[in-house]
Amino acid sequence: MADGRRLTDLAHQQVAAVAGTGDEVVDATAGNGQDTLELARLVGETGRVHAFDIQQAAIDQTRRRLTRYGLMERVTLQLCGHEHLLERLPPESRGNIAAVMFNLGYLPGGDKKRITRAATTLRGMEQAIQCLRPGGVLTVIAYPGHPGGSEELDAVKHWFQHQPRVLDAVRIVEPGGNAPVFLSARRPSSQP
């Protein structure tokens, strides 16, 4: 399970296990819109997807993809970084989000110098766990093979490994080398 596509499938499975029709979910890194599209299908007509990205090109690609499939009405696009989750999500969403997905790195087909960074990713993940409902899931796919990628992966792994009071069922799939790494965790059903 070393390639990014299989890890993306694993992330979708983890999310589908806890989210469904009528739920609210977050794609913290909209990118080319593939995860946003899958989330929009998952939550159905009565659900809501909040998709974030700092690049206008990513927002535009995501909008085109959703429009092509007739799912744009299920999604709110946010042209900003995932470190702004709490200020951009509606107040009633806090504690009610079923899943938050991060797919780190750079925009496929875009400028490879514009990458996610550990500092803003960690802030985004901190805010994500505040938004998750009990039993909600956080998934991250990190790519160490580009400049800055290994440092971000190390910071994300450390963060996941040091959240025992707010996250459980931590899972890390790390094939090794420069292969993508999958991380996931769940907000406990009852907080200590």
- Strand order across the 24-27 sheet: 75-79, 48-53, 24-27, 97-103, 132-142, 181-186, 168-173
Q: Beta strand pairing status for 75-79 and 132-142?
A: unpaired
pLDDT at 87 over 50: yes
Higher per-residue confidence, 113 vs 160: 160
pLDDT value, residue 2: 45
Which amino acid is residue 105, in one-letter code?
G
> Taking Cα atoms as reference points, which of 37, 79, 88, 84 lies closest to residue 54?
79
pLDDT-wise least confident of 2-6, 28-32, 174-178: 2-6
pLDDT value, residue 116: 83
Q: Tell me the residue length of the chain.
A: 192
pLDDT value, residue 49: 98
Calculate mean pLDDT across residues 101-124: 82
Q: The whole model's pTM is what?
A: 0.92
Beta strands per DSSP E along the chain: 24-27, 48-53, 75-79, 97-103, 132-142, 168-173, 181-186
* pLDDT band at residue 36 using 50, 70 and 90 as cut-offs: very high
CATH no. for 4-186:
3.40.50.150
The residue extents of the domains of the chain are 4-186
pLDDT at 4 over 70: no
Calculate mean pLDDT across residues 132-161: 89
The rounded distance, in Å, linking the Cα atoms of 146 and 95 is 34
pLDDT at 192 over 50: no
Percentage above 70 pLDDT, the chain? 94
pLDDT digit string, tens, across residues 45-80: 999 999 999 999 999 999 999 999 999 999 999 999
Helix, strand, coil distribution of the chain in percent, nearest 5: 40, 25, 35
N- to C-terminal Cα separation, the chain: 34
